[in-house]
Structure 1
Amino acid sequence: MRLIISFLFFFILNTGVAQSDKELSEQKYLELQDKIRFSINGNHDEGLTLVKELLKSNNPEHRTFASGAASYLHQLKGDSIRSDQSYADALMYLKKIPESSKKIKIHSYLCNFRGLSYWKRHNYSQALSSYQEGIKLSSQINDVIQVVKFKANMALLNEGVGNFQLSIKILKQNEAFLDKNENLYQKDQFQNAKSNTYTNLGNSYEGYYSKNRNKIQLLDSAEYFYKKAIAYSDKFEDNKITAKLSLGNIYSFKKDFSNAEKIYYDIAIYAKQTNNAFLYQIANFNLGDLYFTLKKYDRALIFLKKVDSISFKNKMLDNSYFKSNYIQAKIYSIKNEPELAYKHSKLYLDSYEKYEGNMREETLEVNYKLGTADLSEEMLDVQEKYKYEVFWNKALKVFYVILVVGIVFFLIKSIRDKNKAHKKMNALIEEFKANLEKKEIENAEIDKAVIEEVFAEAPELDEIQLKKENANLSIDEAKENKIVEKLLALEEKLEYLNADFTLSYVAKKIKTNTTYLSYVVNKRFGKSFGEYSNELKINYVINQMITNHLYRKYSTQAIAESVGFKNAVSFAKSFRKRTGVSPAQFASNI
């Protein structure tokens, strides 16, 4: 009898242990996945509880998603250390998933969670890199819904660094996609996506107004989208609160202080009840700012001091903190209390300098990556891609062999072209470095060696005619030398960086006619004036990239404008013709 009881006890114990760590059904996994996603816009603690439940599964895919979601949930609670730990766990579990489209999809989710975590830390450059990687992964498996999510998150980055018009453009494209493809989403998913899109559109219009205070209609647009966001946020408390807080800002801008005050108090009470320090800090700052505007200075100080207290307690010395000190310095100045005015003005200046310095670096990095990654192009035509998905699946079966041959041929050609381009580029870099060293040693004039022909912008019509005339033209050598000397003098002054450095302009500048000038350039340099001008510009860019590390971070458009090209396209073509690679590729290999 004892033996039977012992056996039963052993069986029950093992069964319990086995069930504590098992693989969940696919349906249960998807249910937990959706609940965790919704918790991101609501109860973060509840989300972390769901994460723990999902981590009980022995399926690495489930654990990867759970750890990735946990990394963002911890970041939302302000815990960057645990956020990083959870993300490291997610990468560990990801390695255990066999190569498949599922692995690519779950990897794209991780990129999204990581990008959002970086965004919350105001590390916009790293966030953008994560989103770019995620778009590549989602595009591999034709996951158009995830691509749209990444585009929406990139819109937030553009808003964060002041690219408001680009942010609005991306978000409106996403809105159109959602409306046309509602059937791709579950009801709650659709409501959440619409809520987020409208909130972000409101934020972008509000930010755009802050830079263009004369365009009052931007506030009307922001108010419209915030109200739509609230209407779609019945099940998403976090979304609703964010939109209401922003709507309060719009009322304040429009001097509707009564409605603004009511919203800010509601938000402060909600934040206090839910222990949301970040939201509580913002609500108190907004109330302090509002009472300062109404000249109720003592009341304003009550709320602004709360901002300082919350900031120090939670180590959140952010935008609200330094603006709070700015307003306090003004209030104490008005109240004729110089010591306190000085104290808060110093706190403001110290924190502002650090905050703005970080923002300038982040803005530069984001705009640089946007330029080199060519992310300003139109959003993927996802609707058409989805429409013809069935057709292409059938076509792939028929053209599979042709496709494989084409891919192999393209890869071989790409590798050869890339190697050739890199050899050419490295040779150019070495050539320019050698010339720079030679210049320093000999203290001589800048090397004027003729470089190989570059892709020139379209020449003027009269220059084409001048080439024909030059064949029968002849002038004395002394006059030629004089023209060349004057050209070299203009080169020394970097005149060629001006956008109006044309044949007629230079002829007038050196007091000769266009016919003589065109003739001398053709004879002495072996090229047309347009080719000669472009050569100087490209030479300047290459030299700057080699000697100036900040110059390498500029966008293609910015570099084109700095040397007088009319547009980035013609500049990029000229640069590639000269070096074999794009400006960004050239810069990254120095």
Structure 2
Amino acid sequence: MKWIASSQFSNELNWRAEIYYVCKAIIAAKENDEKSAALHFDKAIDITRKSKMNERLTVLLEQRLKLNIDASEEREMLFAEFLKRRDHFRKESTKVINQEISRQDLNLIHQREYKYIFILVAVFLSLGVLIFKRRKRKKQKAYFEEIIEELENNKETSNSFIAEEEKNEETLSECADSKPHIISEATKTDLLKKLEKFEKGKAFTAKNFTLSNFVSILATNTKYINSILKEHHGKTFNEYINDLRIKYILEYLHENPESLKYKLSHLSDLGGFSSHSYFTKVFTQKNKISPSKFIASLKEKNKREKKDYNE
């Protein structure tokens, strides 16, 4: 750091000395003291040579030649040196300019490459999004068609009886006295008939419908209910009730076109759900399509059917 500071200080002194002698030379030249002017220029040029300031040296030589203070031989030597340094300076300047132009051209090429890469990435991403959305729409359409087909099939077979179940007895392990609890075939058949009747009603759409309410309606006990639901439906009480509610809403939407204008919160209340967010969650998990998407698809289906009918 000390060496750098010393070098800078030395350059500053040299520059000031150079300016001093140049000014003295110009004043002497104006006073027609050519000899004194030449001596001062020699000192300024000597300082510049030692400082290796080639550009400033070229300027000094040009200034000295303009003042015309030297003899012809000396003037020719100075002029030759001036031309040599000027040409060298021009070559160096041209080289620097060309390098800068090349650098800018290279930067421009890189910018274009980056631009093309960005465009390609954007295009591929856009295509990916479009393909993803298209596949998603196809899946949602397939789910929607499956739901509609099931609803129409259920409508055709709504008055059918429950098929006869396999005649096997299930042993329940959770009993108060830790002894096996067996449901008789007669009790099982009776409960299945009651379940069928229950499913055709709307009691499950009541908000805060509990297992106790369910047991009371079927006039049985909790263990029997849980056993029957697990054996014949493969569901827990909550899953069973939620499925009935979703099925009820689907049938309601399918059979009542006006209901397609209802808000999700109203449909949630109709089904007995505690909130429309929970209703949306259960509906989507069950049908793999959100209620809003289902309603939109059903509207389009009804619109197409109406158009075909009018034609």
What TM-score results when the alignment is normalised by the length of structure 1? 0.26
Q: From the CA coordinates, give the structure whose radius of gyration is larger.
A: 2
Structure of greater relative contact order (alpha carbons < 8 Å, 6+ residues apart): 2
Structure 2 length as normaliser, TM-score?
Answer: 0.48
